[in-house]
Amino acid sequence: MTYQQAVEYLMSFMDREKIPGQKYHEQHYNLQGFRQFLTELGNPQNSFKSILVAGTKGKGSTAAMIESVLRQQRLKTGLYTSPHLISFCERIRVDGKNILERDFAQRLEWLKPFLEKSRAEGRQRTVFEILTALAFLYFQEVGVEWAVLEVGVGGRLDCTNVVNPRAAVITNISLDHTEILGDTIARIAAEKAGIIRQDALVITSPQPPEALKVILKKCQDSLARLFQVGRDVGFRITDQTPHSVTIDLAGTFGSMTNLEVGLPGDFQAENAAAAFAALRSLQYRNLILSDNVIRDGFKSLSWPGRMQQVSQEPVIIIDGAHNGHSAGRLMDSLEKTYPGTGRVVVLGISANKDIAGIVDSLAPGCRAVVITRARHSRAASPEVIREQVAKHGVAAIITENLGEALEKAKQLVAVNDLIVITGSLFLAGEALEMFGEKV
């Protein structure tokens, strides 16, 4: 089986990332069925220690930070994230390196008899379940000691939630996947808090009051130990560049000054504080990390598609912001990192996202918005996006594809302006591929 054949076989199964609106219910997200499938595989998820990261915004970056530091400790690490930007291989990393295409194909070929047996018995697995099982098997085979797992959707019924994590991290919660998880912050928080175990270590980023209330109740009921960014770990930004943010930290786990985080954007400071708290909390699991290991891990961090500058003249930024909150944080960070610059936004959004909320955060103050669509079945109609942009009195131009959109943006941009490609991780992936960036 070649890699391309493996991808074609994988996509013959149900892909929830392409099916909008399936309610977060046991009928659709059968965690018990996935546990049974893993039992048939020998329960590979029990072969390594794990950290689970849930949340709405920043969970991938936070997971990458934690893994980078653990790797600096000379531990054999696994990182499982979603979605990918260009290749499925990005989702499964060992010691900071993507699984090779041939290894991906070989493991999927090994899984095929088990998958066909399940399919024949009417227990067809989903694409995300298959990828998760493949990651667990690969981690087991290569001897991963610690794996950092990013939750796919929600938490309670997500198939990453079969592990018994040494720590659980919940990044900032906002309205996203509302058609699946519920239309209130409290309902979404209840699903995210489903990763909290009895006697667990739990770390949370700053949360809306209604989300924090749910998390606190879950921790109390589970006798879990909760560490809150802002209460137990405070942080302050001391410097920002187009390539990094530097912070001071202080609180329950002591202090650390001038911690350089190898990702730009002030929103990464909050993610770094949560990652720092998670790493320090591992002392209660008999893992002590030195200051130097933590510094080296944060500084050497690489996580593509997050406020990533890929061109200098004009300055072009790629970011996968895909809800109103993250889009607003992106604009705030751009103003602080590139003060005094105008913006032309190249925008593509998935149809199941809060289009109005994203546009409300991005459009004000823009010179123009060039609308396009990613090569993905969930891409929203550019006409629908234009209706929202028009409400802000900003020029909106529709283009057929990203290449055309970028050329149009270059025509519109003034000296010292930024071109910002955003609205979707799928669009960010296409842009990175266009610029030849490694992921």
Look up the CATH number of the domain holding residue 127. Answer: 3.40.1190.10
β-pair partners for 421: 318, 346
User: Is 108 in the same domain as 191?
Assistant: yes
The domain boundary, picked from 299, 334, 349, lies at 299
Q: How many other CB atoms are found less than 10 A from the CB of residue 215? A: 22
Helix (H) or strand (E) holding 16: none
**CB-CB contact of 129 with 37 (8 Å):** yes
For the chain, the C-alpha Rg in angstroms (whole number) is 21
Q: Which domain holds residue 137?
A: 3-299
Whether residue 88 is found in the same domain as residue 157: yes
pTM exceeds 0.95 = no
Q: What is the DSSP string of 281-317?
A: HGGGGT----HHHHHHHHHT---TTSSEEEEETTEEE
**What angle do helix axes 3-10 and 127-142 make, rounded to 10 degrees?**
140
Q: Is residue 117 part of a domain?
A: yes
Tens digits of per-residue pLDDT, 78-93? 999 999 999 999 999 9
Asked if pLDDT for residue 303 goes beyond 80, the answer is yes
Q: Average pLDDT for residues 64-74, to the nearest whole number?
A: 98
Q: Are residues 327 and 346 in the same domain?
A: yes
What pLDDT is recorded for position 17?
64
Task: Report residue 308 as tokens.
Answer: 């990533």
Helix (H, G, I), strand (E, B) or coil at 47: coil
Question: Cα separation of 252 and 273, whole Å?
Answer: 12
Is a pLDDT exceeding 60 seen at residue 25? no
Kindly state whether residues 339 and 271 are assigned to the same domain: no
| Domain contains 132 | yes
Report the pLDDT averaged over residues 73-77.
Answer: 98
- 255: β partners: none
Pair of tokens at residue 229:
């960014």
Whether residue 27 is predicted with pLDDT greater than 60 in this model: the reply is no
In a domain, 439, yes or no: no
* Token duo for residue 227: 């560490």
- Looking at every residue in the chain, the average pLDDT score rounds to 93
Collapsed DSSP state (helix, strand, coil) of residue 265 = coil
Per DSSP, the three-state class of 247 is strand
Rounded CA separation 271/274 (Å) = 5
Q: How many domains does the chain have?
A: 2
Which residue, 351, 375, 385, is CA-closest to 430?
Answer: 375
pLDDT band, very low/low/confident/very high, at 377 (cuts 50, 70, 90): confident
In angstroms, the Cα distances linking 53 to 22, 205, 237, 305, 410 are: 22, 11, 23, 19, 38
Q: DSSP string spanning 88-130?
A: GGGGEEETTEEPPHHHHHHHHHHHHHHHHHHHHTT-PPBHHHH
Which of 299, 328, 344 represents a domain boundary (last residue)? Answer: 299
User: Domain with 417 in it: what CATH number?
Assistant: 3.90.190.20
**171-229 tens-digit pLDDT:** 999 876 555 666 789 999 999 999 999 999 999 999 999 999 999 999 999 999 999 99
**Contact between 230 and 206 (Cβ < 8 Å):** yes
Residue, of 378 and 386, whose pLDDT is higher = 386
What average pLDDT does the segment 357-370 reach? 94
User: Which token pair is 119?
Assistant: 């399919």
User: Could you tell me if 361 and 221 lie in one domain?
Assistant: no
> pLDDT tens for residues 182-191?
678 999 999 9
Q: What is the predicted pLDDT for the residue at 183? A: 75
Query: Both 322 and 410 in a single domain?
Result: yes
pLDDT tens digit sequence for 246-293: 999 999 999 999 999 999 999 999 999 999 999 999 999 999 999 999
Asked if residue 36 and residue 168 are part of one domain, the reply reads yes
Q: Which of 10-24, 187-201, 293-307 has the lowest mean pLDDT?
A: 10-24
**What is the average per-residue pLDDT within 138-146?**
99
Give the closest residue to 424 by CA, choosing from 382, 394, 388, 395. Answer: 382
**Nearest Cα residue to 323 out of 145, 92, 57:** 57
257 within 8 A of 236, measured Cβ to Cβ:
no
pLDDT tens for each residue of 150-171:
999 889 999 999 999 999 999 9
Q: 142 pLDDT band (50/70/90 cuts)?
A: very high
In a domain, residue 326? The reply is yes
Specify the pLDDT at position 26: 58
SS3 415: coil
